[in-house]
Amino acid sequence: MLEIQGLTRRFGAVVAVDAVSLAVPAGQMLGIIGRSGAGKSTLLRLVNRLAEPSAGRVLFEGREITRLRGRALREWRRDCAMIFQQFNLVQRLDVLTNVLLGRLGHHRGIGAALAVLFGHFTAAERAMALAALDRFGLVETALQRAGTLSGGQQQRVAICRALLQQPRLILADEPIASLDPRNAQLVMEALRQVNRQEGITVLVNLHHLDTAREYCTRIVAMQAGRVVFDGLPAELTAERVRRIYGITEEEFEAEARARAAPCAAAMA
């Protein structure tokens, strides 16, 4: 169980996340929606401690994440894998090595340096990486440079890398915003599969509301840092979206598409 309690993050006068409280049971696939600047990315960054809260706390299975330091913090970051809109693979490295980089958090000191510099991963780790790639139909690409893959393939490689961390939680920040509909579907199916089969809790920021309704078991809507809706996908009707945001669902999505477009164009 992930518990977010009164979590607040201010940037000067801006309250990016404003007294958010959420209890996320293990195994949930939670979709987070909201217009630009609502605080979705900041919320995910607070959970994995890429950002520090101004107030409030985060607990995971009763342990206070917002207090962790040093080794315990590194272990927490290993426990919660991040997936980003731009995939964040090392383009010039091959796919297999990119996936193996997910193991770095499991190596210590000189072991981690050797792993990076000379590819000193164990046979078991290599087998694990190949199995992850095979699962998502990517094993033939293992020796290709990551930069030669399509966006959808790269994002599925990023999911494989996340899996090699053996995380408890996956935090995905607009993972499909740069993808065409078919690739977006493949990536969402991959996330759903790891959520269901491994029972990994997934928190995913999305701007396509039908995608959130189709794949998530719960949806949270944010506005100006606050949670303004928290419920089942079927409860987030078009009328409710209009009441929350003062715009239609079509306008909501057009706005988000325009925001994602420069990045999508750069990917093409």
Residue number with CB closer to ligand ATP (128 or 244): 244
Residue 37 partner contact from Mg ion, ligand ATP, none using kind-dependent CB cut-offs of 5 to 8 Å = ligand ATP
When asked if residue 37 is in the footprint of ligand ATP (CB under 6 A), the reply is: yes
Question: Residues in contact with ligand ATP, total (CB under 6 A)?
Answer: 12
Residue 27 partner contact from Mg ion, ligand ATP, none using kind-dependent CB cut-offs of 5 to 8 Å = none
Which residue in 41, 48, 97, 183 binds Mg ion (CB under 5 A)?
41
When asked if residue 48 is in the footprint of ligand ATP (CB under 6 A), the reply is: no
Nearest distance from residue 218's CB to ligand ATP, in Å? 18
When asked if residue 11 is in the footprint of ligand ATP (CB under 6 A), the reply is: yes
Which residue in 34, 53, 56, 167 binds ligand ATP (CB under 6 A)?
34
When asked if residue 36 is in the footprint of ligand ATP (CB under 6 A), the reply is: yes
Residue 42 partner contact from Mg ion, ligand ATP, none using kind-dependent CB cut-offs of 5 to 8 Å = ligand ATP
Cβ atoms of residues 156 and 163 within 8 Å: no
When asked if residue 38 is in the footprint of ligand ATP (CB under 6 A), the reply is: yes
Residues lying near ligand ATP in the complex (CB under 6 A) are found at: 11, 14, 16, 34, 36-42, 259
